Amino acid sequence: MRNKESVQLCIFDLDGVITDTAKYHYAAWRSISKELGYELTESANEKLKGVSRYQSLQQILIWAERSLSKEATEHLLDKKNKTYLNLIESLCPQDVLPGVKFFVEHLKENGIFVTIGSASKNANNILEKLNMMDDFDLVVDGHMVKHSKPNPEVFLLSCQAFDVAARHTVVFEDSYKGIGAARTAKMHVIGIGNPANLPEDVVVWESFEAKTIDDMIEGIKYS
Ligand code: BG6
Ligand code: MG
């Protein structure tokens, strides 16, 4: 990818990219894990980022060496979501991560489609709280996909909607699984957050502050 004209679509993950809800998912899963007699560490939690609610619980059950009935599983999924919703109750526009709004506007002013590609079934609720519902051309969320990241389905739906090829698409992701999904689809990717938590061969931005399209082109040069 050589110039800015070749980027036609940017897909943003939500949790941990647009706002720091990843820490609330972790807190809620840690409390569920405790009930199962399992201590969910921060590094184990990295493997849950980008993964659907159901798949996350399945993974925790494997780590905890537990198995549950369908009813008990449903109960814990519901409990986790209620805990999570309580934690994000007071989420507001000030919780949008620094630079995100400006960068999204900058992309749109340059004719680039901007979408959300999130595994979360709470994505629309969160975007409403952040007052960002009108900022994206499309929101693809956990209700719209069958497969969890690293399956690229959640990103491919944006490409299909705007008829943009994967090679003209850039994904912004804070998780290993999400970066894997972008790579499987042969999309370009920029990591967001702490470089120590992400693959070494990805350019990682610690924040969107002061970032421009030129920075993005530079970041995806070798991806
Ligand atoms: C992803 C998060 O965005 O959404 C995961 O990284 C989370 O941690 C997943 O499990 C599903 O979210 P929700 O809101 O539908 O439980
Ligand atoms: Mg994320």
pLDDT of residue 222: 75
Residues 26 and 15 placed together within one structural domain of the fold: no
Give yes or no: 13 in active site.
yes
Asked whether the predicted pLDDT for residue 4 surpasses 60, the reply is: no
- With cut-offs at 50, 70 and 90, classify the pLDDT of residue 29: very high
Residues 173 and 69 placed together within one structural domain of the fold: no
Residues 78 and 153 placed together within one structural domain of the fold: no
- SS3 (DSSP) at 146: coil
pLDDT of residue 79: 98
Can you read off the two tokens belonging to residue 199?
Answer: 């693959």
Nearest residue by C-alpha to atom 1 in ligand 1? 50
Give distance in angstroms: CA of 214 to centre of ligand 1: 31
What's the total number of domains in the chain?
2
Residues 147 and 178 placed together within one structural domain of the fold: yes
Q: How far apart are CA 190 and CA 203, in angstroms?
A: 6
- With cut-offs at 50, 70 and 90, classify the pLDDT of residue 5: low
Residues 130 and 80 placed together within one structural domain of the fold: no
Residues 31 and 16 placed together within one structural domain of the fold: no
Ligand 1 atom with minimal separation from the 141 CA: 15
Residues 37 and 82 placed together within one structural domain of the fold: yes
Asked whether the predicted pLDDT for residue 87 surpasses 60, the reply is: yes
Give distance in angstroms: CA of 86 to centre of ligand 2: 19
pLDDT of residue 206: 97
Asked whether the predicted pLDDT for residue 100 surpasses 60, the reply is: yes
Give distance in angstroms: CA of 5 to centre of ligand 1: 33
Nearest residue by C-alpha to atom 12 in ligand 1? 120
Q: What CATH number has the domain bearing residue 11?
A: 3.40.50.1000
Give the model confidence (pLDDT) of 48-84 as tens digits. Answer: 999 999 999 999 999 999 999 999 999 999 999 999 9
Residue-range definition of the domain harbouring residue 199: 4-20+94-219
Q: In the listed set 74, 90, 106, which residue is the last one of a domain according to the structure?
A: 90
Give distance in angstroms: CA of 199 to centre of ligand 1: 20
Q: What CATH number has the domain bearing residue 80?
A: 1.10.150.240
Q: In the listed set 90, 122, 147, which residue is the last one of a domain according to the structure?
A: 90
Q: Which residues line ligand 1 (CB under 6 A)?
A: 14-15, 22, 25, 48-53, 56, 81, 118-122, 142, 175
Ligand 1 atom with minimal separation from the 15 CA: 3
pLDDT of residue 221: 87
Query: Which residue type does 121 have?
Result: K
pLDDT of residue 3: 60
User: How confident is the model over 193-207, as a mean pLDDT?
Assistant: 96
How far CA 66 is from CA of 61, 83, 195, 223, in Å, comes to 5, 21, 33, 39
Give the model confidence (pLDDT) of 139-175 as tens digits. Answer: 999 999 999 999 999 999 999 999 999 999 999 999 9
- Give the ligand whose atoms come closest to the C-alpha of residue 192: 2
Residues 55 and 130 placed together within one structural domain of the fold: no
Pocket test for ligand 1, best of 14, 18, 23, 25 (most atoms within 8 A of CB): 25
Residues 129 and 59 placed together within one structural domain of the fold: no
